[in-house]
Amino acid sequence: MKNVLCIMSDQFEELEAVGTIALLRRAGINVTVCALHEKQATGRFQITISDLTDVSEAQADTYDALFLPGGPHYAELQENPLVQQLIKDFDKQQKYICAICAAPTILGQLGLLKNRRYTCFTSMNQDFGGEYVNEYTAIDGNLITGRSAAAVIDFAFVIIEQLLGKEKAEEVKNSIYYY
């Protein structure tokens, strides 16, 4: 079984977090959701997710991929030393780092988008030294990025395909009448 670590804090984008987590779990991927504060997080639209793991308990060695949903919480994630270290650990181990909407900018600030193909929420794109693509998803090596909340389904399917293969991704697509 594949394992994905998701990190969130208050003001996460609910559609990006819950939509991606639901599709990954539908594919049979174990998703551990970590919070920065008190084992819960409240999204930007006041949906609270509780009984979460504290981020201090997370170690990159345990997971196959890291997932960072977007939303205004990206600024807090970007400044958190534990989150920064986890991102660096995943990258060093060449494990997938998946970020959508505002979250790819965290990767950009850490220098991980340099000379890489990526996407993010268009108005948040800066000169990260890579190639910004105006597409729903982009994959470059171990980095999977998504553009916005509208890209959630395609973003999740790219992650599923990378972790479990095209056949499994197609199986899940068919189960939700994607086509």
Please check whether residue 145 is in contact with residue 138, taking contact to mean a CB–CB distance below 8 angstroms: yes
Long-range CB pairs of 82-87 (<8 Å, 24+ gap) are 82/55, 82/56, 82/58, 83/7, 83/36, 83/55, 84/110, 86/5, 86/7, 86/55, 86/58, 86/60, 87/112
The secondary structure of residue 58, as a DSSP letter, is -
Among 34, 98, 101, 120, the active-site one is: 101
Give strand ranges (E) for the chain: 3-8, 30-35, 41-42, 48-49, 53-54, 65-68, 96-100, 117-118, 131-132, 137-140, 143-146
**Residue type for 164, please?**
L
The pair of three-digit structure tokens given for residue 38, joined into one six-digit string: 């008190």
Task: Give yes or no: 101 in active site.
Answer: yes
Counts for the chain of helices (H) and strands (E), in that order: 6, 11
Tell me which residues are annotated as active site.
101
